[in-house]
Each structure stands twice: as C-alpha cells, then as structure tokens.
Chains A and B, each alone.
Chain A
C-alpha cells in the first residue's frame, strides 16, 4: 500500500506537486494519469526517496522508502528516464543491483528470462532499442520480487506486442495481490489496464476513483439525430424536456436513449435519417478534465495575413 499525505514539492517558485493525498491499494492496478508536467514523475521520485518532499509525506506500508534496509525487495520501480550506464551489460546491471540488496545471482537469470532478454543479456545496454531498455527496466523492477511495483510510463517505446505483454504482466502482478502503481499520460492505455485511477494536473489530484466511476462521471454520451425536418424535430424534443444542441445539420440529444427518442419522433410522424448513440472516448473525458491544467497548450493559429 502506498499513501501520499499532503505531498508537496516546490522547485524555487514553481510548485510541481501541490499537497496531494491519495492511497494505492494492493490487489489492483492503480493508474496514475496526467498530462506531461503534471507532477507524476516528481511524485514517483519522492516515493523512491530520490527527491525530498517540501511538505507532506509519501510512504509504503507506513514507512519511508529510505527506511527499508533492502528496498528492492519491498518496492520495484521502473523509472521513466533510463537509469542505466550505456557501457554496462544488462546482466551486469542486474548483478550489481541484486548484490546491493543481498539477492542471489539466480534471481538475475530468472528476471532476464521473464522479460525475454536472456539472449542479449551480455550486450551493452547502450545498444538496446527503447523497447529492450523498457524490458530491462521492468526486469529491474521485478528483481526483488516486491509486493509493491511502481512503473513510470512502462509502455513508452514498446511495440504493440510489448504493450500487450506489459498489460498482461501488470494485471497478473495485481492478481497476485501486489500493489501496482502505473503512471501514464495515455488514457487509452489506462482504460485497458487500470482498475482505479488517480488523475492529476498541475500538481493537484483531479480525480481519485474506480475506472467505471470515472467513465460514468466524465465520459459524456449523446444521441445523434438527423432528419430532413431538423427544426420541427428539435422543437419536439425540447418540448419533451430533452437537452438538444444543433451542430451543423445534426442534433445532439442528451437525456434519453436512442430507442425512446426514435419512438417520440416517430409518433409525431417526422422523418429520421439517422439515430446513433455516440459515446465520447475516455481520451476526450481526460482531455476535458485536465484541459485547465495542461502546462503547455497549443493554440489554434490565426492564418498569416488574417490580422485585422
């Protein structure tokens, strides 16, 4: 179990993490979601004792990371930025890490096999592709067979096969009863992997709920209605208390399902060309939720010469 309480990190004037509190429970995958610069990696670094919180605390099983005598056996971490010397072989990297926590060399071969790097274990990691580097990072995280696994952007640089492998692996780790804390800026990936979501933006928690709750609350849906008699249909639906927005030649109707809307329109004898339930994607829900907190936004540019 991971607990953050009033966790704050300031770099000079800039507040990277602004008094966040959340709890990550064992036995499920908790997604840590936020746009770039939201404070995800800073939070992860404080969890691992690399950065010192300005205020508040983040603990694992009630203890600070630095208080574990053999932390790799308690918390396995994949760090976002590569934390490897390019001149060292994958096996040597795992060997020194194992030695530092009193783990047997046998464990090095086990994790190499688990992530599928046995054949290239003797190669220097500087020659590794991004995907191989990620696999090695996951091997590092699993080296101590820890009850808590923290993965910062694990699918970065992986091919579809690798992405599916990470997804299966994280689900399996959670099923074994481990605490799995997974950061990503990709909502689509989270939707497939996480049971629970902690969403942050600009260093604050925007949502902390189960995935189904998040979908119910934030992923809006509407029924698209197209008719040659747009005006009459809109009128009819509004009179029935439904929320109707006209966009181009279609109507977006909220408040009732497609069947009920179809019956209502049909009973009045209006013609229908289209009647479709449209669910906005989780990606859109996430974008809406974090829109205000995105650090660097792109603006739609006014075409050159269009200045007035």
Chain B
C-alpha cells in the first residue's frame, strides 16, 4: 500500500445544506402541489387538451341544440330538451381522459418519473398533488364548458319556446355535475395510467370501458344486464352531468355519482399501491 490518499476525510460534512436559502421552510404538501402545478402547465398537451375540452363540449352542445330545437319543440323526437343541454360533454370527456392519462403516463414514457420521485420521494404525496391539480383543473374547465354550452344552446331552445331556466329541475346540478364528472373521469384515467404505465394502453382501456363495454353490457340478459349497465363507471357517473338522462333506467344522479366515485377511488387506491411498491 502506498499510503497516498488513504486517509479518509472526516465523516461530517462542513457544508450546511440550507446555506443558500435563508429562512427556508421544510418542504411539505404545498411545495409538491406547486411543483405539480408548474409541471402540469409547462407542457403543451395541457392547454391543448383543456382547449379541446371547452371547444368540443360547448360547441357540440350549441350545435346539437341548434339542429334539434325545432324537432324538440314539435315533440316528434320523444326526448326532453334537458337531455341535450349538456350533450357536448359526452364527447368532451374524451379530452379529459386523454389529459388524465397523460399526466401519469407521459412521466413513465419519458423517464420524468425518476426526476419526480427523486425530488419528492414521498410517493403518496406526489399522487395526491397530481390528483388535486388534475381534478381541480378539470372541474373548473368542465363546469365552465357546461355553462358556455348552456348559454349558447339555450338561446336556440328559447327561439322555439322550450328554453330551460337555471332554476329548472336538474339544470344547475348538471352544470356543476359536468365539472364533477370531468374531474372524476380524468382521475380514473390517471389511475389506470399508474397501473399500466403506458399512454396508448391506458387510453384504450378507459375508452373501451366507457364507450364499448358500457354499451355492450346492456345486451346481457335480464337483471344482469340491467345492473351491469347501471354500475358501469361511465353510465353511473355521467347522469349527474345532464338534467334528463337519455336512458331512464340508470341510477339517480347523486346515487350514480357516489357509485362512480367509489369505483374511481378503488382504481386510485390500486394505482397508489402499485406506485408505492414498484420500482420507478
């Protein structure tokens, strides 16, 4: 042994980790939330998705009301005007799903998740902050979209004398409910993203479940089909977002939304357990 450099330096480090930051606070949930907020809005997919949600949701509602106002007034469709006043949200939910999935899967696709978890090793806190940023944004965007669609669509309905007042049964509830449903379905997609860690896979699963399986189960015989239809997440959760549902056999708006919330919570819990256990 030569003896050079063989003396290890003392175990203590003289550097004070806080020296650059006078009066620094221990970072907590507020810091994680702030970080997730910056992350959320500093990629293009977020403004694009939110923009698409508002445009599709409000635009299609207005379009559908404009086209069908005369028929609705004549009573030839057998449908209520209330079924149309938030119609655009059924399409807009796809953008909420895309945004929700991307918030999680883009981190896995790019390797960002490793930066996220080295900055905040507390994985539950990361998930909570992500969920709050996502659902908060989607709630506001969904509710604003529904209000815009209502204002535009109702103008055409009023021309035919079948306008809906905000105080009418379920109208105000459906506007707030649109925000709630967008937030819920986006979180659902994010949680599926945690389970599969892949954008295309997460989108396929959620869209198939909502748009294909949700309608296919109606074909099941008897009570099976009836209940499976009522309990599918998209069917249970979306009733709250419309004054009058097209399908009269679904659960009530708040009962359905409670079932939907329980389903979302279950998938989020599964996603959380996977996030905690698996290597990043």
Q: Which residue of B lies closest to A87 (CB)?
A: B43
Taking CB atoms, residues of chain A closer than 8 Å to B112 are: 83-85
Taking CB atoms, residues of chain B closer than 8 Å to A74 are: 17
With an 8 A cutoff between CB atoms, is B159 at the interface?
no
With an 8 A cutoff between CB atoms, is A228 at the interface?
no
Would you give the 0/1 interface string for A21-53, flagging 1 where the beta carbon is closer than 8 Å to chain B? 001011110000000000000000100111110
With an 8 A cutoff between CB atoms, is A73 at the interface?
yes
Q: Assess A177 versus B118: contact at CB under 8 Å? Given A99-B34, A101-B31, A213-B2.
A: no
Which residues of A (78-111) have their CB < 8 Å from a CB of B? 79, 81-89, 92-93, 95-97, 99-104, 107
Contact A102 B279 (CB under 8 A): no
With an 8 A cutoff between CB atoms, is B200 at the interface?
no
Which residues of A (133-154) have their CB < 8 Å from a CB of B? 140, 144-148
Indicate the size class of the contact surface on chain A. Answer: 35 or more
Contact A85 B43 (CB under 8 A): yes
With an 8 A cutoff between CB atoms, is A223 at the interface?
no
Taking CB atoms, residues of chain B closer than 8 Å to A179 are: 13
Q: Assess A177 versus B14: contact at CB under 8 Å? Given A97-B35, A213-B2.
A: yes
Complex interface: stretch among A64-72, A236-244, A247-255: A64-72
Q: Assess A102 versus B21: contact at CB under 8 Å? Given A49-B121, A85-B112.
A: yes
Contact B114 A83 (CB under 8 A): yes
With an 8 A cutoff between CB atoms, is A277 at the interface?
no
Contact B31 A99 (CB under 8 A): yes
Separation of A23 and B9 alpha carbons in the complex (Å):
12
Taking CB atoms, residues of chain A closer than 8 Å to B106 are: 85
Contact A83 B26 (CB under 8 A): no
Contact B122 A66 (CB under 8 A): yes
Contact A92 B9 (CB under 8 A): no
Taking CB atoms, residues of chain A closer than 8 Å to B24 are: 70, 102-103
Q: Which residue of A lies closest to B36 (CB)?
A: A96
Taking CB atoms, residues of chain B closer than 8 Å to A66 are: 121-122
With an 8 A cutoff between CB atoms, is A112 at the interface?
no
Would you give the 0/1 interface string for B55-72, flagging 1 where the beta carbon is closer than 8 Å to chain A? 000000000000000000
With an 8 A cutoff between CB atoms, is B15 at the interface?
yes
Taking CB atoms, residues of chain B closer than 8 Å to A79 are: 111, 114-115, 118
With an 8 A cutoff between CB atoms, is A171 at the interface?
no
With an 8 A cutoff between CB atoms, is A199 at the interface?
no
Taking CB atoms, residues of chain B closer than 8 Å to A45 are: 114, 279-280
Separation of A50 and B107 alpha carbons in the complex (Å):
14
The total of chain B residues at the interface (CB under 8 A) is 49
Contact B5 A100 (CB under 8 A): no
With an 8 A cutoff between CB atoms, is A176 at the interface?
yes
Separation of A85 and B114 alpha carbons in the complex (Å):
11
Separation of A100 and B36 alpha carbons in the complex (Å):
8
Contact A50 B279 (CB under 8 A): yes
Separation of A70 and B5 alpha carbons in the complex (Å):
32
* Interface residue SS majority, chain A: loop
With an 8 A cutoff between CB atoms, is A210 at the interface?
yes
Separation of A263 and B112 alpha carbons in the complex (Å):
65
A256: min CB distance to chain B, Å:
20
Contact B11 A50 (CB under 8 A): no
Taking CB atoms, residues of chain B closer than 8 Å to A196 are: 5
Separation of A113 and B157 alpha carbons in the complex (Å):
60
With an 8 A cutoff between CB atoms, is B255 at the interface?
no
Separation of A80 and B35 alpha carbons in the complex (Å):
23
Q: Which of these, B11, B19, B107, B114, contacts A145 with CB under 8 Å?
A: B19
Contact B13 A177 (CB under 8 A): yes
With an 8 A cutoff between CB atoms, is B120 at the interface?
yes
Would you give the 0/1 interface string for A183-225, flagging 1 where the beta carbon is closer than 8 Å to chain B? 0000000000001100000000000001111001000000000
Separation of A80 and B36 alpha carbons in the complex (Å):
23
Taking CB atoms, residues of chain A closer than 8 Å to B247 are: none
Contact A50 B114 (CB under 8 A): yes
Q: Assess A73 versus B121: contact at CB under 8 Å? Given A1-B13, A83-B112, A147-B13.
A: no
B residues near A (Cβ < 8 Å) are: 1-2, 4-6, 8-11, 13-15, 17-21, 24-28, 31-32, 34-36, 38-39, 42-45, 106-107, 110-115, 117-122, 279-280
User: 19 A-B pairs, CB-CB below 8 angstroms?
Assistant: A45-B280, A49-B117, A50-B117, A50-B280, A51-B280, A68-B121, A73-B18, A79-B114, A79-B118, A81-B111, A85-B106, A87-B44, A88-B43, A95-B42, A97-B115, A102-B24, A102-B25, A210-B2, A216-B2
- For the complex of A and B, the 8 pairs showing the least CB-CB separation, nearest first, are A27-B9, A100-B35, A92-B42, A66-B121, A102-B27, A96-B38, A83-B115, A51-B279
A residues near B (Cβ < 8 Å) are: 1, 23, 25-28, 45, 48-52, 61, 65-66, 68-74, 77, 79, 81-89, 92-93, 95-97, 99-104, 107, 140, 144-148, 176-179, 195-196, 210-213, 216
